[in-house]
Amino acid sequence: MTQPRTPRTRPGTLPFLLAAALSLPLAAPAAAQPAATPTKVSSRTCGAYTLTLRENGFEEPADRVTITRGATSYATVEDTMVSVDWCRDVTGDGVPEVLVAGFSGGAHCCFTHTLYSLTSPPRRLLTAFSAHSSGLDVRQLDGRGPLELVGSDWRFAYAYGMSFAESAPLPAVYSFLNGQYVENTRAFPGFMQTYARGMNADPFSGGVLVEYATRAVTQGAAGADTWATAQPASFRAWLTNYGPDIRQDLSDFGLRDWPTRAGLNADGARSGIGGAFTAPGTRAYLAVTQEPGVTGAATLRLFQPRGADITAGPTLLTVPVTRDTYGQPTLTVWPAVTVRRAGGRDDTLLRDARSGSVRYAAYRVGSAALTELRDDPLAVTAALLSDLSSVAGHVASQYRSVPRTAAQTAEVQRRIGAAVTRARPWLDTRRGLTDFPLGRLGNFTFGSVTLTQDSPAQAQAVITTTVGFTDDRTDSEYVSGERHTLTVNLDRAATGWQVTDWTLKPRTGELYEE
């Protein structure tokens, strides 16, 4: 799943790949040791077990930590570099836990943390992808019971025009619930706010973003936007530019472990969005999940709170999972964005690429049913987005660096022509004198969809988009683009909802304006 996000990876793509990678068994009964001799071997005890660390620096074979008792090996963690971070009882049951960190060996990424309870036999309580952060802190945040583990959520690394040096993480809080540690950050709003104030004590772009995002999560969009108006002009313009995207990108914050809390395997891949799908003000998680060992298909389900528990609804859609040219799993359908309707309930756009072309379809999500919207302003808006996205995808594909026969090249051009023909009628409703050469549209992506008007007779959709065109110098399928506001006005006519006009206007407010 390698579809790029703007400004970060879209749901259902890289997050799904990452989850799939994490679903590989990081802990399993130890296999036979490789023939190569490690440069350093050390051991320590934790409870009734011995932790043996074999280190090779950045050389092969990989470093490994093995958990043994007597002659029996119970689990092994491997990575380019591995360390034992701590041994202590964090669950409060009198049995120690051990935290093992693996580091992939990048410039500053990536760390994965694995926590075991050293019961008989040991139980894995958590595997956390920590990206650029090397540790999990042990804290008591709710004043009772098992300790919490505090890590980092790096979803905004490099986002919205920032370099890595300017980026900062959100907190990730893991709570011990129903016998395992799960991400539960939203349950600690006070801690989140204190963390954000500390991160932004000396304001910089990453700290400003963390505080804005924290306010969006804990106080809602209005509270975040009110705070943003009091920031220095450059930050204020930047947050105004990317605010809708930031809020969309936060929709799944704190929800990714809801499938685990609902009883699904913690190693299962998942990708989704959050929203008030069944009732105003009631958060739910619409996610595609794939259980370990299942190939070829994933399922779309709604996960909802039920008291202190999370429940999984029935399968709403079976989603094919294919393989890309690198052999990696690729979703063909996933939830793209959450769209708030006039009554306070959220609908969604699903991105569907099963036919080979991109199609967005609008859906009403229920606890047990998924209903495609037809005669609806969001559905018509989705059709416009579909046709422009399809053109861009086919136009960009001709620059893909793969060998093609003459027949294959001709087929690419045929698909471009068909997509342009299908999209051309939309130009009749476009306002503005600027040319819009459909045949050169090589980048059309969107980050958020907002219905600023949603009445029985009229509607207006405002979409943050990135638009780019090919030219004589184009030599890659990754066509650069500029951010625009796409505004779509719609009326309900006798024959149903129709677009009356649509406009594209450049967005301003980058961190570094050229």
pLDDT score recorded for residue 172: 98
Residue type, 385: L
Q: Is the peptide bond before 456 cis (omega within 30 degrees of 0)?
A: no
Please give the Cα distance from 240 to 245 (Å, whole number): 10
Residue at 326 is within a domain: no
pLDDT score recorded for residue 220: 95
Residue at 441 is within a domain: yes
pLDDT score recorded for residue 368: 94
Please give the Cα distance from 73 to 406 (Å, whole number): 57
DSSP state of 326: T
Q: How buried is residue 169: exposed, middle or buried, by Cβ count under 10 Å (0-12/13-18/19+)?
A: buried
Question: pTM for the full model?
Answer: 0.90
In the chain, how many H helices and how many E strands?
Answer: 8, 26
pLDDT score recorded for residue 295: 85
Residue 21 neighbours by CB distance under 10 Å: 14
Domain that holds residue 437: 400-412+424-514
Residue at 481 is within a domain: yes
Residue type, 21: A
Residue at 435 is within a domain: yes
* Site of tokens 């975040």: 224
Residue at 511 is within a domain: yes
Residue at 280 is within a domain: no
Residue 1 neighbours by CB distance under 10 Å: 24
Residue 52 near residue 41 (C-beta atoms within 8 A): yes
| Residue 430: both structure tokens together | 């476009």
Residue 273 near residue 348 (C-beta atoms within 8 A): yes
Question: Pairing state of beta strands 40-46 and 49-55?
Answer: antiparallel
Render the burial of 255-266: b for 16+ CB within 10 Å, e for the rest.
bbbbbbbbebeb
Residue at 418 is within a domain: no
Residue 152 near residue 170 (C-beta atoms within 8 A): yes
pLDDT score recorded for residue 10: 38
Query: How many residues does the structure list for the chain?
Result: 514
Tell me which residue of 71, 115, 62 sits closest to 89, measured CA to CA: 115
Residue at 134 is within a domain: no
Total domains in the fold of the chain: 1
Domain of 508, CATH number, reads: 3.10.450
pLDDT score recorded for residue 20: 41
pLDDT score recorded for residue 512: 86
Tens-level pLDDT at each residue, the chain (514 residues): 333 333 343 334 434 434 443 333 334 444 444 445 668 899 999 999 999 999 987 778 899 999 999 999 999 999 999 999 999 999 999 999 999 999 998 877 899 999 999 999 999 999 999 999 999 999 999 999 999 999 999 999 999 999 999 999 999 999 999 999 999 999 999 999 999 999 999 999 999 999 999 999 999 999 999 999 999 999 999 999 999 999 999 999 999 999 999 999 999 989 999 999 999 999 999 999 999 888 889 999 999 999 999 999 999 999 999 888 778 888 899 999 999 999 999 999 999 998 878 899 999 999 999 999 999 999 999 999 999 999 999 999 999 999 999 999 999 999 999 999 999 999 999 987 678 999 999 999 999 999 999 999 999 999 999 999 999 999 999 999 999 999 999 999 999 999 999 999 999 999 987 6
